[in-house]
Structure 1
Amino acid sequence: MAKRSSLSIRIVEGKNLPAKDITGSSDPYCIVKVDNEPIIRTATVWKTLCPFWGEEYQVHLPPTFHSVAFYVMDEDALSRDDVIGKVCLTRDTLATHPKGFSGWARLMEVDPDEEVQGEIHLRLEVVPGTRACRLRCSVLEARDLAPKDRNGASDPFVRVRYNGRMQETSIVKKSCYPRWNETFEFELEEGAAEALCVEAWDWDLVSRNDFLGKSLVERSQATHSRGNLGSLQLEVRLRDETVLPSGCYQPLVQLLCREVKLGTQGPGQLIPLIEETTSTECRQDVATTLLKLFLGQGLAKDFLDLLFQLELGRTSEAWEGVACLRVAGMRYLHGVLGPIIDKVFEEKKYVELDPSKVEVKDVGCSGLHRPQTEAEVLEQSAQTLRSHLGALLSALTRSVRACPAVVRATFRQLFRRVRERFPSAQDENLPFIAVTSFLCLRFISPAIMAPKLFHLRERHADARTSRTLLLLAKVRDCGRRREMPRWVLNKGPYLDCAVQNVGNMDTPASRAKEAWMEPLQPTVRQGVAQLKDFITKLVDIQEKEELDLQRTLSLQAPLVKEGPLFIHRTKGKGPLMSSSFKKLYFSLTTEALSFAKTPSSKKSTLIKLANIRAAEKVEEKSFSSSHVMQVIYTDDVGRPQTAYLQCKCVNELNQWLSALRKVSINNTGLLRSYHPGVFRGDKWSCCHQRDKTDLGCDKTRSRVTLQEWNDPLDHDLEAQLIYRHLLGVEATLREKHQQLRAGPKTGAVPTGPGEALGDPLAQLLQVLQDLREAHRASLAGSPRSEPSRLLELQT
């Protein structure tokens, strides 16, 4: 049994933000912190007070986290970034929204005196006395305090107040992880109701002391707003799951798999019922979860084929195919589209086809003295777009073998079902359009429009690059097309773009609505034959390949993550030693963390995964550099070692930490504490302890990870999520079962474990009952956790 918490986060947009720059605008981005730990940074949206991000994340966390905070920042090139405001959601707040918090939240002012972090370790006891009892407060240590000084640390001391008296600890210089081990005593007066107040402060020689936080016993807290700082639209959902051992889910998985197998000969009973009882708001989540579940069982193609049968002739969208592409096709998308997107970003060419929007001054000169004319700008822009479109079509036609087998098999079934449903000669293009409606309309075109949201780029495009991408995949609401059945089309805006026009197979839908888009039409018409040939080869998958597919559906790849990092090299010895970082290319596989001078060079193993004990961040002051992580491991003879690696940004740092933690989560001997500093000279830079083998002054965060598109499947979690969904609609399922039992052609149906094979709904209800009992038993057998002696510092 495992308890898992996860946060699904979507940062949508902001509005009415205050201007922080002299231009009357701002360059906003968001930082997401969980318990004051930065884990996510969105892209910067330049020169706007109403930014749109649309970025989605899923974070796996320990169940003990307290809050998640969203800071809206203004990026500055020359000075420190400005804080615009923040939104803070506590765990208790999120727990009151089972379907998730969704909507606009007003930004609150960020007061430096209220921005506290860290925990303090106290021991409180009542000591009997001759005249009266005394309250003994031992201030032991603190950890993860906010750095208030320019050196990246603080000089903390503690004030203890009770019943009108105050006492202070000594000052610990240059540490965010101080240890005091000092004890104070106060007289306990009968009837006194004052709370014990413990305050942490940063000592300053010249200026006033900085407040670090406080902890109260029996206190209350109020929050307030200071002015209008704009709003942030968020979607945040907390999900707590108790995942049972795999064997508990086998009856549910086997029952669903049997229904899918039977459904290939004709729609069964359970899958249509699940679809019917699923609300619109959670339909996509359920579809993705089911698809992942059947991917693990080798039945993804059969599942999607069953849904295609059910949805042909309906007006609803075939949304499960989109989920299939998201789950199984991202690596394929990166291989096909990545080089084209990179070229667009690197060239930064001025591209414009609309004569009313051409700005000649933006393109400079084509010769030494003569500026370009409008006609020359339009012609050059058309050539650039034709080049990008031609490169994409060429990459697609060469990518048949690179397309994942499950995606090919899915498209083959879709192609065949549409052809069976529309057999007439006038509909001969419909099977091709059905395939391209998924591949182009819902996958390639959105990725061109927003490459960051598909992990193709780290940042959003600037204005010039955005216009190029927009013209390559331009959104227009063209309504419904007679040439296609309604279920093929998206209910939202239709992409009347270069890519999708090719996918429309030279039907009227493929013809440009604006006259100024006409220069692309020859390339569109030329690409139709290429795309038809590509689709024909794509769906021509042999039966032998389908059998191989059943054995190779796991999405876990040997390569987990790769990229350039800087490795720490020490120069000299003693307290004045210096350090430098050497750039190397690192590869993380399912066996080891390796490095090489270049991506194509021979790799050398740095750390075997089985030897990793922790992967954590390093204090900025340790190397006078930010975004440094440490990997604590043991060498071949069991000696503890530490590798220090520097990343280029906070997102890359958290992605590497997440990847390292996920591949080593089942290692034996994982550390529970670590030193966020370095051992320099004769002591740790973080807590000043002189014992190099000290266990550590901060807790490790091995369970804090980010969900990535290339993560391996967690079959038990997917089964648990399906069980949770079915539990929510169990009443509806029981009503349906009663209606079936009362029908004139249906006899009495047993409700015990020995259900007849012909009543899968009764079996499903029995399986849900068994899983409910298994969860109750697991909760009854869980040991109660001891109360923590660490108190979180508050404002």
Structure 2
Amino acid sequence: MMSLGKCASPKVFWPSIQKGRLHCRSHLAHWFPHPSLTMLLFLGYNGWLNLTEIDPDEEVQGEIHLQIEIIGSSAARKLRCVVFDARDLARKDRNGASDPFVRVRYNSKIQETSVIKKSCYPRWNETFEFDLDESATEKLCIVEVWDWDLVSRNDFLGKVVFNVQRLKAVQREEGWFLLRPDKSKPRLDEGNLGSLHLQVQLRDEMVLPSIHYQPLVQLLCQEVKAGAKNKKVHLITLIDETTTAECRQELAVNLVKLFLGQGLVKEFLDLLFKLELERTSEPNTLFRSNSLASKSMESFLKVAGMQYLHRILRPSINRVFEEKRYIELDPNKVESKEIGCSSLHRIQSESEVIQQSGQLLQSYLTDLLSTITKSAKMCPAVIRATFQLLFKRVGERFPEEKDQNVKFIAITSFLCLRFFSPAIMSPKLFHLREKHADAHTSRTLLLLAKAVQNVGNMDTSISRTKEAWMAPLQATVQRGVAQMKQFILQLIDIEEKDELDLQKPISLQPQVVKEGYLFIHKARSKGPLLSFAFKKLYFSLTHEALTCAKTPNSKKSSFVPLTSIRAAEKVEEKSFGISHVMQIIHTNDAGQEDTAYLQCKCVNELSQWLSALRKVCGNNAGMLCSYHPGVFRGDKWSCCHQKDKAGLGCDKTRHGVTLREWNDPLDPDLEAQLIFRHLLAIQELMREKYVELSVLDKSENHQSEDPENADSPIRLFQILHDLEEIHHKEVSRSTDMAQQNQNYLVELQT
């Protein structure tokens, strides 16, 4: 989508399962079998979908560029179909491509294009004409794309269906059309392979220039600075009480990132602490719900403390993965195990397994707690200052002697229960490991996470009763509680130099955005016998350049400066005969366009590298609108067979397709847009809640008509109305611009 600002990236999921598959394509029409579900993707879909056997005729992807029109006089009218080209077709052959041709069917007559060998981006530029039959029973013109095979039957690649009656009214249709699967076959195995619970959301956000969001951002900042004093209806309370549980997590992330960029995240969280404490009477329930305060604090730790988390947990996590020891404390889950040399096997008893497991877990927990308790100075200053405020607010709310532990538990409920423990249980989700753990390692991590939770709960009697089999760790947990209290006191004891750190602007941009081993492909020779060699190097992506070295500790040499990058895209598998290759199109020192080909070890790694490159290059000038997904070999491109090496690419670039991750750089305009969109969705609920919570007399109602003196909710409703009108205008303008660009590309290609 074209706009004056930026477009946020869509979240796309590709789930697949052996034996059965749930098709998820880049085009909405291919995602789900039901049109209603396709429309729901814009709002989000969450539900169970049946898995089915893979049908070759449904393995459809790609688009075809067509022009279809009715020409001639009323006495001799004809149906004309011009087949220009296609892109991103399914790969049906072993060489990683297809041999596509197009079949046009109308009124029982068939015409076909020539076959384009070994291409998923074919170009035909062929025209077909049919006599228009007013009495024909079939009122459809069907354009099918097939993969030609010499010895076996041709493979179906997709189709587009045109209603001739509708075409008579519009006379002509032209553009890129999504290829559709063949739904003529009945599905008999629906649900036989089980179901998959899937949550999918596709998002395409139009982000306006910063000036349009200033009134909304200023209002939210004023509310945070004013605090909870003398507020009849606090705006943050209104937002919290009208936001559903499903949306609260995302809203919390957006608000945290917004206030981080404004330098007010500490004040924002302090306000939430006060509002939460005002409605909490029992200390045992404090921050245990999924309120906006709990979700915001959890999101804050992930956004601002991820690097700290990695430094603390990585040694212990790596040790568990490397040792691969079988550990179990629950007698109901102990598995029999043979020990000893090959000639003297014996079965290890249940008590021996539990005893050995207890010793190993004690060792893991002791090392981890030792690392945590020595890390107070490593913790980011803004997190320490926030914990200091939390400790103070809880102490003021529950000053009794019997509640002295509550202020410690308030901190550990976030630090241990919502930060350390989830990362220990699922290290891959927190980027601590590249792969998920196997069953035994996963169980060990779960037991270690439970032990950390018990320390965070200050070893209450409830936790001991609930899982009595954790008793072998009791002594270590009790020592850990004392260590954790001492650590918290050090954590919130902020010195003068730490106060100075709080005045520095917040930045989430790590020095290294992405790093790891990649294979770089280089041409051995030139001409028709071009071949490629690849070399394994360690690449590091920063906000200045992409560098490489032989090993992580070797001296790095500059590979590609970021300012020279013009596109980062995938490469067709057939180009090199291998998978997971990306290309970085950039300008070299001579100012000429050059391409570097890098191979990743898996599709997830490929997606992460592409996402990282696109994010750091998002503001580069001269980014390409099109590219070639193949390689120029001999005298033509392998993808579309064009012979002009410097010609227009046959596929569109995908600069906006990125992954949203915790370490993304702050983008205040995007966060403001996401907050606006959420508030717009709950606007009516906020109005109703505002009326319910307000006790206004006539004078106050009259006074609220002045924007400067109005209550914050009234001002918010006006701001939302103004922003909505601006969005409508920009959507109209961007649609016109997109159509003009599409027409321009069509002219260039024809």
For the superposition of Structure 1 and Structure 2, which TM-score range results when normalised by the shorter chain? 0.7 to 0.9
**Aligned residues of 1:502 and 1:531 also touching (Cα < 8 A):** yes
Note the C-alpha offset of 1:618.
0.9
- Structure 2 counterpart SS, 1:34: coil
Q: SS of the counterpart of 1:113?
A: helix
Distance 1:778 1:749, change over 3 A: farther
* Alignment of 1:281 onto 2:265: no
For 2:513, which of 560, 567, 572 is the aligned residue? 560
Which of 613, 622, 626 is the matching residue for 2:579?
626
3-state SS of paired residue (1:551): coil
The residue identity in structure 1 corresponding to 2:340 is: C
Query: Following the alignment from structure 1 to structure 2, what is the Cα–Cα distance between the partners of residues 142 and 607?
Result: 32
Q: Among residues 327, 335, 341, which one is paired with 2:311 in the alignment? A: 335
Q: Aligned to 1:395, which of 354, 368, 371?
A: 371
Structure 2 CA distance for partners of 1:778 and 1:539, relative to 1, 3 Å: same
The within-5 A match list for 1:141-540 is 141-192=85-136, 194-218=139-163, 225-227=187-189, 228-263=192-227, 269-312=234-277, 313-314=279-280, 315=285, 316-317=289-290, 318-319=293-294, 320-362=296-338, 364-365=339-340, 369=344, 371=346, 373-374=348-349, 375-473=351-449, 497-509=450-462, 511=464, 513-540=466-493
Task: From the superposition, tell whether residues 733 and 178 of structure 1 become closer, same or farther in structure 2 (CA, over 3 Å).
Answer: closer
Deviation, structure 1 residue 750: 3.7
Provide the C-alpha distance between the structure 1 equivalents of 2:10 and 2:37, rounded to a whole number of angstroms: 13
- Residue identity opposite 2:658 in structure 1: T
Give the Å deviation of 1:753: 5.7
Aligned mate of 1:584, from 537, 553, 571: 537
SS in 2 for 1:160: strand
Compared CA separation, residues 367 and 418, structure 1 to 2 (3 A): farther
- Indicate if the aligned counterparts of 1:148 and 1:154 stay in contact, CA closer than 8 A: yes
Query: Structure 2 vs 1, CA of residues 509 and 537 (structure 1 numbering), >3 Å: closer, same or farther?
Result: farther
For residues 11 and 182 of structure 1, the distance between their equivalents in structure 2, rounded to whole angstroms, comes to 35
Matched, 1:759 2:711: yes
Among candidates 710, 720, 744, match of residue 768 of structure 1? 720
Q: Given the alignment, which residue of 25, 28, 35 partners 1:34?
A: 25
Identity over aligned pairs, percent = 60
Q: What amino acid is the match of 2:620?
A: N
Which string of whole-angstrom CA distances, capped at 9 and with x for unpartnered residues, describes residues 114-157 of structure 1? Answer: 21222222233444379623333332222222221111122222
Which is further off, 609-618 or 727-736? Answer: 727-736
Q: Which amino acid aligns with 1:560?
A: V
Larger proportion of helix:
2
Shift of the alpha carbon at 1:328? 2.0
Aligned equivalent of 1:671: 624
**Conserved 8 A contact 2:464-2:470:** no
Would the aligned equivalents of 1:630 and 1:643 in 2 still touch at CA under 8 Å?
yes
- Separation of aligned partners in 2, 1:392 and 1:454: 17
The aligned counterpart of 1:138 is: 82
Cα contact 1:737–1:762 (8 A) shared by 2: no
| Structure-to-structure mapping, 1:595-744, within 5 angstroms | 595-735=548-688, 743-744=696-697
Instruction: Say if 2:8 and 2:656, in contact at 8 Å, map to a contact too.
Output: no
Consecutive unaligned residues of structure 1, counting only runs of 5 or more, are 21-27, 36-64, 70-86, 474-496
Cα-to-partner distance string for 1:219-248 (whole Å, 9 max, x where unaligned): 898575331221111222344433221111
CA displacement at 1:643 relative to structure 2: 0.4
Deviation, 1:558, is 3.1
Amino acid at match of 1:731: E
**Counterpart in 2 of 1:476?**
none
1:545 corresponds to 2:509: no
TM-score, normalised to structure 1, is 0.82
* Distance in structure 1 (CA, Å) of the matches to 2:508 and 2:476: 36
Give secondary structure in 2 for the equivalent of 1:586. Answer: strand
TM-superposition CA deviations, 1:589-635 (whole Å, max 9, x none):
11111111111111111111111111111111111110011101111
Amino acid corresponding to residue 34 of structure 1 in structure 2: R
**Which 10-residue stretch deviates more, 396-405 or 129-138?**
129-138
The separation in 2 between residues aligned to 1:739 and 1:467, in whole angstroms, is 49
Post-superposition Cα deviations, 1:156-211, rounded to whole Å, max 9, x if no partner, equal: 22222222322222222222222222222222234546322222222222111222
Q: Say whether the 8 Å CA contact 2:538–2:550 is kept in structure 1.
A: yes
Moved more, 123-132 or 560-569: 123-132
Deviations 1:248-287 (A, max 9, x none): 1111111111111111667672222222332333223322
Rounded Cα–Cα distance in structure 2 between residues aligned with 1:667 and 1:640: 15
What do the CA deviations read for 1:499-550 (whole angstroms, capped 9, x no partner)?
1222233443464655542221221122223212211111112465345324
Deviations 1:746-766 (CA, angstroms, capped at 9, x unpaired) = 53434556422x733332233
Q: Which residue of 1 aligns with 2:175?
A: none
How far 1:737 sits from its partner (Å)?
A: 5.7
Amino acid at match of 1:285: E
Determine the structure 2 residue equivalent to 1:84.
none
Query: Cα deviation per residue 1:32-86 (whole Å; 9 max; x = unaligned)?
Result: 7432xxxxxxxxxxxxxxxxxxxxxxxxxxxxx53463xxxxxxxxxxxxxxxxx
The unaligned stretches of length 5 or more in structure 2 are 165-179
Runs of 4+ in 1 over 6 A off after TM superposition: 9-12, 739-742, 787-791
**Which residue matches 1:100?**
44
Deviation at 1:451, TM superposition (A): 2.2
Q: Distance in 2 between matches of 1:98 and 1:699?
A: 22
Compute the TM-score of the two structures, normalised by the length of structure 2: 0.87
Letter aligned with residue 271 of structure 1: I
Report the Cα distance in structure 2 between the residues aligned to 1:11 and 1:206, rounded to whole angstroms: 32
Q: CA distance change for structure 1 residues 711 and 734 in 2, over 3 Å: closer, same or farther?
A: same
Cα distance in 1, alignment partners of residues 157 and 613 from structure 2: 32
- 3-state SS in 2 of match to 1:200: strand
Aligned residues: 707
Task: Say which SS state the counterpart of residue 633 (structure 1) adopts.
Answer: strand
One-letter code aligned to 1:761: P
CA distance, structure 1, for counterparts of residue 610 and residue 425 of structure 2 = 29
**1:410 to 1:179, Cα distance in 2 relative to 1, 3 A:** same
1:707-745 per-residue CA deviation (whole Å, 9 max, x = no partner) reads 112111221122222222332333344456667886359
